[in-house]
Structure 1
Amino acid sequence: MKQPQPAAIGSATLYIVPTPIGNLSDITLRALEVLKQVDLIAAEDTRHTGLLLQHFAINARLFALHDHNEQQKAELLLARLQQGQNIALVSDAGTPLINDPGYHLVQQCRAAGVRVVPLPGACAAITALCAAGLPSDRFCYEGFLPAKGKGRKDRLQALASESRTLIFYESPHRLLESLQDMVTVWGAQRHVVLARELTKTWESIYGAPVAELLEWVQQDEMRRRGEMVLIVEGYQAPTEVLPPEALRTLALLQQELPLKRAAALTAEIHAVKKNALYQYALTQQNG
């Protein structure tokens, strides 16, 4: 078996370099070689990346590239690349551009014909998906849900009939509100996995119907701390055949009542499952 060779660094190349999401041992040998050899490292937070480089004894020039300055600074970095310099792009953790800065720089490089080389590596979304126990052959990455309640509910409503597994990032101070809105919009039974502090000492992966997950999170403040990923079961069409009488009742009650209440009353009248009625109505609303 041949021994691996050091990464060959070309000229005038932008390298997309993933960094660990928690465990520093997860950085790849190729990533280390690239970071050692490039002329410049564009970092989301130079102080944070400086600690990573210090840990691996890498001396490199750092350049701040973050959400607030990327569109202005991308042209400067592009000019350096066109002069023959090599640049590595890193974020604070994980793969750059995945809910992190870098899109504008990569877009300009591609338009200008500058070589862009992506390295494989850590990504919290994919790491969580692999351990969630939900279908992974088809999935949809949605990033962070909107911060405002109405925007969040509108986004969840738009995704109500999405059959692919859904991936969200979430912040600790909005976790409870997001889970509650999922219960309100999707019903209590949609299965959700909360993956927290992946690769770190306090890693936790817990899945349950979303109403139960919300209750579980509320029981312990520690369960809503740290970096979080939510993996959500895709929409499943009801297998139960709903009686035409129940559907007529549901349609009539929806004209006067909120959907959740209309589904509950219809279920009680016709002895059918409330969640099946609720999901049916959501599907109708979304065409």
Structure 2
Amino acid sequence: MDFAPRDDRATLFFDVDGTIIHHPADADTGETVANAVPTPAVVSAFHRLRDEGHHTFICTGRPLCLVSQALRDLRPTGLVTSAGACLVIDGKVASEEVIPEDVLVETIERIVDAGAQVLLEGTEGCVALVPSGEKYHGIPGVATARDLDGVRRVSNMRFCKFSYEDDQLDRVCELGGFLDRYFVRYDLGLGCGEACLIGLDKATGVRRALEYLGIGFHNTYAFGDSENDLPMLRAVETPVAMGNALQSVKDAAVYVTRAVEEDGVPAALEHFGLL
């Protein structure tokens, strides 16, 4: 792939959920993550950007294993996944950081003690940690475990982050003192939140992508809607918030476009003359 610098070539970073994928208020989050697809306008925008020589990156909290074929079919230059922990270029993992095993082990043990249900997310797979032993009703096809031994049996213990539904927030918050030593927690604005390693966020992924391409800050754009997008927005020249974004995200943007369900990304690209 040709990554030669060009003065008018933009580099763009797009969040997925709430930015190029719509989550209806009454929809099941797991089903949306597994099955929702970008609109024809978004698909066309990605292909036109590529044809014009711009660099496009999906920059998502989703781990690589949950980046659907519909998203890959957008043919981005690369993928920043696990909220910045993993960079994929040309289908190959260029960099990846996982939770250190000692921290992971203690995190799992404390989550189990608190009775919280979380989704441990890794590049190669996810595990729903369900201490109660109840049936997991989240993302289809995900392995489940009740405790640390169970997680070891069904995974390679390489996780980048974990997420949780809002109804688990009180139990997660019980771990506040411990979690705050290692993780930053974000409200995703979709009825769920996530915890990422301190110092590792979407801005990390943006910097690594730009370094890989050998280009700088100029003519960079980012599009997002939730708290975990804030580091990404601060890492580019032109931060754009969706019309459905949290207020903190809108406050960090230089432009607020239409909502995701109104094809806000293609509208913003037209506003900036990129389409």
Does 1 or 2 have the higher relative contact order (CA < 8 Å, sep 6+)? 2
Q: Which has the higher strand share?
A: 2
Rg (Cα) greater in structure? 1
Q: TM-score, normalised by structure 2?
A: 0.29
Q: TM-score, normalised by structure 1?
A: 0.28
